[in-house]
Structures are given as C-alpha cells and as structure tokens.
C-alpha cells in the first residue's frame, strides 16, 4: 500500500530525474529508477503506520536489534513466526 504523500514524492523524484537528463516526456525507465524496490516490504509498511524498530521492540518487549533482524529476515523461522504472530495479535498490518 502506498500513501498519496509517497506517490507525490516518487512523482517529484521522477520529474526531477527526467529534467536533469533532459528527457521529455518522462520514460518508464526513469520512473523505475527512482522507485524503492521495497516499497511494500514489511519494514516500509510498518514505518508508514508510524512503527519504527524501537517502537516495535517496546510493543513486543524485545530488543531493537531483534526487531531489525526480524525485519531483514535474519531470525530463525520459529522466532520469525512468533514475532509475526505477536504483531498480528497487536493489530498491526503484517
């Protein structure tokens, strides 16, 4: 899910990039070059809802380093599933 503010930001970035290279109209390649590859990743989604690693750590009563590992897919499958379940139980969009 993208917010209107994110869409506006990406459109601005694409227009600025096209202007810098003198491209008119803006080609698809320019737009793709400014889009974040992980726009719909879990970390990006939670950040859009106002939850950073520190906030999530406090909510789940774990260390921020463990949350960062969770968000980057570096935890064991069992622990990942456990934290995912806790986030769901807390009503977060995961």
pLDDT tens column, 32-80: 888 877 777 888 888 878 898 999 999 999 999 999 999 989 999 999 9
Q: What is the pTM of this model?
A: 0.63
Report the pLDDT value the prediction gives residue 43, as an integer from 0 to 100: 86
pLDDT tens sequence across 4-20: 887 888 889 899 999 99
- Write a three-state SS string for the chain: CCCHHHHHHHHHHHHHHHHHHCCCCCCHHHHHHHCCCCCCCHHHHHHHCCCCHHHHHHHHCCCHHHHHHHHCCCCCHHHHHHHHHHHHHCCCCC
Q: How many CA atoms lie within 13 A of 78 on its CB side?
A: 0
């Amino acid at each position: 899910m993208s917010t209107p503010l994110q869409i506006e930001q990406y459109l601005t970035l694409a227009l600025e990039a096209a202007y810098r290279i003198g491209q008119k109209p803006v080609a698809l390649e320019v737009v793709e070059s400014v889009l974040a590859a992980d726009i719909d990743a879990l970390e990006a989604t939670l950040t859009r809802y106002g939850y950073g690693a520190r906030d999530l750590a406090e909510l789940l009563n774990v260390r921020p380093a463990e949350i960062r590992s969770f968000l980057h897919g570096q935890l064991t499958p069992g622990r990942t599933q456990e934290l995912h379940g806790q986030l769901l139980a807390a009503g977060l969009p995961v």
